[in-house]
Amino acid sequence: MSIDKKIKALGIGRFQVMSLLQAVRYYLFNRDLDKAKSFGLNRAIFYAWAKYYGSKYPRRLLRVEEELRRQIMRGEKPVKCPNGYVEVLGECIKVSPHGYFEMGGIEQSPYDFDRQVTYKIKPLIDPSKAWEEALKYVSSFPEYILRDPVKFYKYVYEPIRDSFFKDLLEKGRVKPPREVLERLKSLEDMVKKSREKQRSILDYSSECQ
Structural domain range at position 46: 3-176
**Cα–Cα separations (whole angstroms), residue 79 to 4, 76, 109, 147, 151:** 43, 9, 28, 16, 18
Please tell me the total count of domains within the chain: 1
Q: Is residue 24 part of a domain?
A: yes
pLDDT at 168: 96
Q: Parallel, antiparallel, or unpaired for β 101-103 and 106-108?
A: antiparallel
Structure confidence by residue, pLDDT tens digits, 90-113: 888 999 999 999 988 899 999 999
Is the model's pLDDT at 9 over the cut of 60? yes
On the question of pLDDT at 153 being above 60, the answer is: yes
Identify the pLDDT of residue 205. 52
pLDDT at 55: 45
Where b means 16+ CB within 10 Å and e means fewer, 124-139 reads beebeebbebbbebbe
Instruction: Answer yes or no: is 155 within a domain.
Output: yes
The residue type of 34 is D
- Sheet of strand 85-88: strand arrangement: 85-88, 91-95, 101-103, 106-108
Whether 95 maps to a domain, the answer reads yes
Is residue 97 in some structural domain? yes
pLDDT at residue 74, as a whole number: 62
- Which amino acid, one-letter code, is at 114? D
C-alpha to C-alpha distance for 195 and 142, rounded to whole angstroms: 17
User: Quick check: is 208 in a domain?
Assistant: no
Question: Is the pLDDT assigned to residue 176 strictly greater than 70?
Answer: yes
CB 22 within 8 A of CB 39: yes
Tell me whether residue 74 is in a domain. Answer: yes
pLDDT digits over 49-92, tens only?
A: 756 544 444 444 445 555 555 665 566 555 577 788 888 998 88
C-alpha to C-alpha distances, 121 to 33, 99, 116, 131, 148, nearest whole angstrom: 18, 26, 9, 11, 27
pLDDT of residue 169 exceeding 50, the answer is yes
